[in-house]
Amino acid sequence: MTIGSPLSATLDTTPHRLLTGPGAALTWLLLFFPLWWVLGLGGLIFYLAAIPMAVSLVRRRHIEVPPMFGFWLAFCLVVLVSMSALNLDPANTVAENWWGRVPGAVYRAAGYLCVTVITLYAVNLTEREYPRRLLVNLLAWTAVVTVAGGLLGTYWGHLEFTSPVEALLPPGVAADGFVKSLVHPQAAQVMDFLGYEAPDLPRRGATPTRGGTSWRSPRVGSWWPRSVSRSGGVGDSVRWHCW
C-alpha cells in the first residue's frame, strides 16, 4: 500500500488520540519524561512503559525488525555472558560479595531488554497508527530535554529532592543505596575524587551509562527518516539507532 496524501488526510493527530490510541505508550514515555523524573520514576519509567508495549507486540501477527538488528542481539548476548564475571574482583578494586552485584547487573540487563521492546514497538507502528512526523518531533523533544538536563547538572549539580515515590517507600527500603539511586531525583552525580566537588558530567550525568535518576538522555532507541514507506509501516521508513 502506497502512502499518499489521501492517507495523510485521514490521520488523527488530536491530543486525545495521541494519548489514548495506538502508540500512546510511546507518547507518554517521551513527552512526559521530565514529569516522570520529578515523580521519582526517571530510572524506572522505561521498564514500566515496556510492559504494555510488549503486550502489544505479542498480539501482532508479524513483527518487523530494524536494519542490522542481529548486531544488537549479538551485543545483548555479550552482555549476558559478561555477567558470568560478577564473582571476579579486578586488581586494586574493592572486594565485594558477588551477590551484591547481582541486582545492578540484572537491572542493566533488563534495561537492554526494555530498549529492545521499545524499539520494536516503535518500528512496528504504521503511519496510520502513529505518524512519522510525530515520532521525529518526540525525539527532537527528547534532545531538548537532554540538553536542558545537562545544563541543570552543570550549573545546579547539587539540586536534589525527595520524590513522591521515594516518600511512599518504607524508610528502610528508601535508604538502600540501589533503591535510592532509582527513586531519588538529583541534577547530577557529584564526585570529589579529584579533591574538590564537581558534577560527574558529561561522562555519566548526561549519558545513559548506568541506572539512576540523574537527569540524562532517556535510554531509548532513536530513528531517522530514510525513505518513503511502501507498506505503511514505520519500520520501512526509518533508520534505527540506539543511544
- The whole-number pLDDT of residue 13 equals 55
pLDDT digits (tens, 9 = 90+) for 99-139: 778 888 898 999 999 999 999 999 999 898 888 899 999 99
Cβ(111)–Cβ(219) below 8 Å: yes
Cell of 181: 539511586
- The whole-number pLDDT of residue 14 equals 62
Q: Which residue has the higher pLDDT, 131 or 217?
A: 131
- Is residue 225's pLDDT more than 50? no
Query: In three state form, how does the secondary structure of 121-181 look?
Result: HHHCCECCCCCHHHHHHHHHHHHHHHHHHHHHHHHCCCCECCCHHHHHCCHHHHCCHHHHH
Of the candidates 49, 69, 46, the one whose C-alpha atom is nearest the C-alpha of residue 182 is: 46
Question: Considering the chain, what percentage of its residues have pLDDT values greater than 90?
Answer: 40
- The whole-number pLDDT of residue 228 equals 34
Average pLDDT, the chain: 77
DSSP β-bridge partners for residue 190: 199
Cβ(20)–Cβ(146) below 8 Å: no
- Is residue 94's pLDDT more than 70? yes
- The whole-number pLDDT of residue 87 equals 82
Q: Which residue has the higher pLDDT, 242 or 70?
A: 70
Q: What is the mean pLDDT of residues 60-65?
A: 89
DSSP calls for the chain: ----HHHHHH----HHHHHHSTTHHHHHHHHTHHHHHHHT-TTTHHHHHHHHHHHHHHH-S-----TTHHHHHHHHHHHHHHGGGTT---TTS----GGGGHHHHHHHHHHHHHHHHHHHHHHT-BTTTS-HHHHHHHHHHHHHHHHHHHHHHHHSTT-B---HHHHHS-HHHHTSHHHHHHH--BS--EE-TTSS-EE-TTTTTTS-SSSS-BS---S-EEEEE-S--SSSBGGGTEEEEE-
- 11-25, 66-80, 81-95, 116-130: lowest mean pLDDT where? 11-25
pTM for the model stands at 0.71
Q: What is the mean pLDDT of residues 53-80?
A: 92
Cβ(199)–Cβ(89) below 8 Å: no
Highest mean pLDDT among 1-10, 17-26, 86-95, 122-131: 122-131
Q: Which residue has the higher pLDDT, 1 or 102?
A: 102
- 6-10, 58-62, 162-166: lowest mean pLDDT where? 6-10
